[in-house]
Amino acid sequence: MLISIQKLGSDRFEFSGGLFTLRVNRSWCENLHCYIAVRVSSKRQDTQRRRRKLHEELRGLSFQPLMRGSIVDRMRRCGRAGCACASDPAARHSGKYLSVNLDGRTVAIHLRAEDEERVRRAIEAYRRLWEVINGLTGCEVADLRREARERVRGRKRGGGGAG
């Protein structure tokens, strides 16, 4: 939440956020400044904690099989001589396939029942990898925003220097 602080007079300040407006005198204002400073530094620590956790998970994921693609059901012919599936489309067997686009071409690879779980885990790890990358992107964005806010606050206090 963004909180704006406005000076109303020599001893009166107004804090306003999305849902509130608070008018206070100078000593209250100084206490609130202190409170906001604590909140800002704890937000930075939250971001660092989140980033550390995500990096740990990223390391874990890097040791696992990772795979794009999806598992699809398809009707197939088994190829056994004399099986009804050879001539009757309705008698075809349902089978699991890995469908994945590689180098611009979608390939379908038949999965034996014993391979399905392994492939499912690799696809899930890939999906989780993207969530981790999203989380890390969120950390970087949070840092950039917080740093920009801190620069603005520094300038308002009369720091003057460009960040």
Q: Which residues bind Zn ion (CB under 5 A)?
A: 78, 83, 85
DSSP letters for 79-104: --TT-GGGT-GGGPEEEEEEEEEETT
User: Measured from the CB of residue 88, what is the shortest distance to Zn ion in angstroms?
Assistant: 9
User: Measured from the CB of residue 78, what is the shortest distance to Zn ion in angstroms?
Assistant: 3
Q: Which is nearer to Zn ion, 8 or 78 (CB)?
A: 78
Contact 65, 121 (CB under 8 A): yes
Q: Which is nearer to Zn ion, 84 or 144 (CB)?
A: 84
User: Measured from the CB of residue 66, what is the shortest distance to Zn ion in angstroms?
Assistant: 34
Phi then psi for residue 143, to 5 deg, are -65, -45
Query: Which letter does DSSP use for residue 87 in this model?
Result: T
Q: Which is nearer to Zn ion, 89 or 158 (CB)?
A: 89
